[in-house]
Structure 1
Amino acid sequence: MNTVVENGERRRAAARCARCGRIGIVYVWPDGTRKPLGQTAFCDCDEQTLRLLEEEREAGGDGP
Protein backbone atom coordinates (compact mmCIF):
# COMPACT_ATOMS: atom_id res chain seq x y z
CA MET A 1 0.00 0.00 0.00
CA ASN A 2 1.31 3.42 -0.86
CA THR A 3 1.14 6.01 1.86
CA VAL A 4 -0.77 9.21 1.25
CA VAL A 5 0.24 12.57 2.70
CA GLU A 6 -2.75 14.53 3.95
CA ASN A 7 -2.58 18.23 4.78
CA GLY A 8 1.21 17.92 5.09
CA GLU A 9 0.72 16.73 8.66
CA ARG A 10 -0.34 13.11 8.67
CA ARG A 11 -0.52 10.19 6.29
CA ARG A 12 -2.38 6.92 6.06
CA ALA A 13 -0.62 3.57 6.18
CA ALA A 14 -1.39 -0.11 6.68
CA ALA A 15 -0.36 -1.45 10.08
CA ARG A 16 -0.39 -4.71 12.00
CA CYS A 17 -0.82 -5.26 15.74
CA ALA A 18 2.35 -6.98 16.94
CA ARG A 19 0.37 -8.93 19.56
CA CYS A 20 -2.61 -10.37 17.64
CA GLY A 21 -1.64 -9.79 14.00
CA ARG A 22 -4.74 -7.80 13.07
CA ILE A 23 -4.19 -5.52 10.06
CA GLY A 24 -5.85 -2.16 9.50
CA ILE A 25 -5.33 1.42 8.39
CA VAL A 26 -3.81 4.04 10.68
CA TYR A 27 -2.96 7.71 10.54
CA VAL A 28 0.75 8.39 11.07
CA TRP A 29 1.94 11.82 12.21
CA PRO A 30 5.49 13.15 11.58
CA ASP A 31 6.41 12.47 15.24
CA GLY A 32 5.59 8.76 14.75
CA THR A 33 2.23 8.78 16.56
CA ARG A 34 -0.11 6.14 15.10
CA LYS A 35 -3.88 6.21 15.51
CA PRO A 36 -6.47 3.86 13.97
CA LEU A 37 -8.50 5.39 11.15
CA GLY A 38 -12.19 5.80 12.02
CA GLN A 39 -12.10 3.95 15.33
CA THR A 40 -10.75 4.39 18.82
CA ALA A 41 -9.13 0.96 19.09
CA PHE A 42 -7.28 -1.03 16.46
CA CYS A 43 -7.98 -4.38 18.07
CA ASP A 44 -8.94 -5.86 21.46
CA CYS A 45 -5.36 -6.13 22.78
CA ASP A 46 -4.69 -4.32 26.06
CA GLU A 47 -1.41 -2.87 24.82
CA GLN A 48 -1.41 -2.22 21.10
CA THR A 49 1.95 -2.12 19.38
CA LEU A 50 1.26 -1.09 15.81
CA ARG A 51 3.95 -1.81 13.22
CA LEU A 52 3.61 -0.31 9.79
CA LEU A 53 3.61 -2.96 7.08
CA GLU A 54 6.11 -0.84 5.11
CA GLU A 55 8.51 -1.11 8.10
CA GLU A 56 8.06 -4.88 8.22
CA ARG A 57 8.72 -5.15 4.48
CA GLU A 58 11.87 -3.00 4.76
CA ALA A 59 13.08 -5.15 7.66
CA GLY A 60 12.58 -8.31 5.59
CA GLY A 61 9.58 -9.57 7.55
CA ASP A 62 6.73 -11.60 6.16
CA GLY A 63 3.99 -9.60 4.47
CA PRO A 64 0.27 -10.05 5.04
Structure 2
Amino acid sequence: MSDCSMDDRSKRAGDTGRNAEQSRKVAATCTSCNAVYAAEAWPDGKVRPIGRREGCRCGETDFKVIETAESDSMPPRPDNS
Protein backbone atom coordinates (compact mmCIF):
# COMPACT_ATOMS: atom_id res chain seq x y z
CA MET A 1 0.00 0.00 0.00
CA SER A 2 1.23 3.46 -0.87
CA ASP A 3 2.02 6.12 1.73
CA CYS A 4 0.43 8.65 -0.61
CA SER A 5 -3.01 9.86 0.42
CA MET A 6 -5.82 10.72 -2.01
CA ASP A 7 -5.31 14.42 -1.15
CA ASP A 8 -1.64 14.19 -2.12
CA ARG A 9 -2.49 12.53 -5.45
CA SER A 10 -5.09 15.21 -6.24
CA LYS A 11 -2.60 18.00 -5.61
CA ARG A 12 -0.01 16.37 -7.85
CA ALA A 13 -2.61 15.84 -10.58
CA GLY A 14 -3.16 19.59 -10.81
CA ASP A 15 -6.11 20.00 -8.45
CA THR A 16 -6.59 23.72 -7.88
CA GLY A 17 -8.30 23.26 -4.53
CA ARG A 18 -11.85 23.10 -5.90
CA ASN A 19 -13.98 20.29 -4.55
CA ALA A 20 -14.71 17.79 -7.37
CA GLU A 21 -18.14 17.04 -5.84
CA GLN A 22 -19.22 20.58 -6.69
CA SER A 23 -19.07 20.02 -10.45
CA ARG A 24 -20.59 17.41 -12.72
CA LYS A 25 -19.11 15.84 -15.82
CA VAL A 26 -21.02 16.74 -18.98
CA ALA A 27 -20.67 16.97 -22.73
CA ALA A 28 -20.59 20.57 -23.88
CA THR A 29 -20.51 22.37 -27.19
CA CYS A 30 -18.75 25.59 -28.12
CA THR A 31 -21.30 28.34 -28.74
CA SER A 32 -19.24 29.65 -31.66
CA CYS A 33 -18.01 26.67 -33.72
CA ASN A 34 -20.06 23.81 -32.16
CA ALA A 35 -16.97 21.75 -31.28
CA VAL A 36 -17.85 19.18 -28.60
CA TYR A 37 -15.81 18.63 -25.44
CA ALA A 38 -15.91 16.65 -22.22
CA ALA A 39 -16.51 19.36 -19.65
CA GLU A 40 -17.35 20.21 -16.07
CA ALA A 41 -20.53 22.13 -15.25
CA TRP A 42 -20.25 24.19 -12.06
CA PRO A 43 -23.08 25.31 -9.76
CA ASP A 44 -22.38 28.95 -10.70
CA GLY A 45 -23.31 28.16 -14.31
CA LYS A 46 -19.78 28.01 -15.69
CA VAL A 47 -19.06 25.21 -18.15
CA ARG A 48 -15.37 24.49 -18.70
CA PRO A 49 -13.90 21.97 -21.10
CA ILE A 50 -11.63 19.43 -19.41
CA GLY A 51 -7.98 19.89 -20.38
CA ARG A 52 -8.53 23.16 -22.30
CA ARG A 53 -7.78 25.99 -19.88
CA GLU A 54 -7.90 28.61 -22.63
CA GLY A 55 -11.28 27.48 -23.97
CA CYS A 56 -12.16 26.14 -27.41
CA ARG A 57 -9.67 25.66 -30.23
CA CYS A 58 -11.47 28.54 -32.04
CA GLY A 59 -10.78 30.87 -29.09
CA GLU A 60 -14.32 30.96 -27.68
CA THR A 61 -14.74 30.55 -23.92
CA ASP A 62 -18.54 30.14 -23.81
CA PHE A 63 -19.92 26.59 -23.79
CA LYS A 64 -23.39 25.08 -23.57
CA VAL A 65 -24.16 21.75 -21.89
CA ILE A 66 -25.54 19.18 -24.31
CA GLU A 67 -28.78 17.94 -22.80
CA THR A 68 -29.41 14.21 -23.01
CA ALA A 69 -32.58 12.15 -23.09
CA GLU A 70 -33.75 10.52 -19.89
CA SER A 71 -32.10 7.13 -19.39
CA ASP A 72 -35.42 5.29 -19.34
CA SER A 73 -36.21 6.58 -22.84
CA MET A 74 -33.00 5.14 -24.26
CA PRO A 75 -33.31 2.03 -26.38
CA PRO A 76 -32.32 -1.19 -24.59
CA ARG A 77 -28.80 -2.46 -25.08
CA PRO A 78 -28.45 -5.52 -27.27
CA ASP A 79 -27.87 -8.76 -25.41
CA ASN A 80 -24.44 -10.01 -26.46
CA SER A 81 -24.65 -13.36 -24.68
Q: Quick one: higher RCO (CA 8 Å, sep 6+), 1 or 2?
A: 1
Partner of 1:25: 38
Distance 1:40 1:7, change over 3 A: closer
Q: Write 1 or 2 for the structure with the bigger share of helix.
A: 2
Distance 1:31 1:22, change over 3 A: same
Query: Structure 2, unaligned stretches of length 5 or more?
Result: 1-18, 70-81
Partner of 1:49: 62
The sequence identity of aligned pairs, in percent, is 29
Rg comparison, structure with higher value: 2
* Partners of 2:26 and 2:39 within 8 A in 1: yes
TM-score normalised according to structure 2 size? 0.50
* CA RMSD, 1 decimal: 2.2
Structure 1 outlier segments of 4+, above 6 Å: none
TM-score normalised according to structure 1 size? 0.61
Deviation of residue 37 (structure 1)? 0.8
Query: Structure 1, unaligned stretches of length 5 or more?
Result: 1-5, 59-64
Q: Write 1 or 2 for the structure with the bigger share of strand.
A: 1
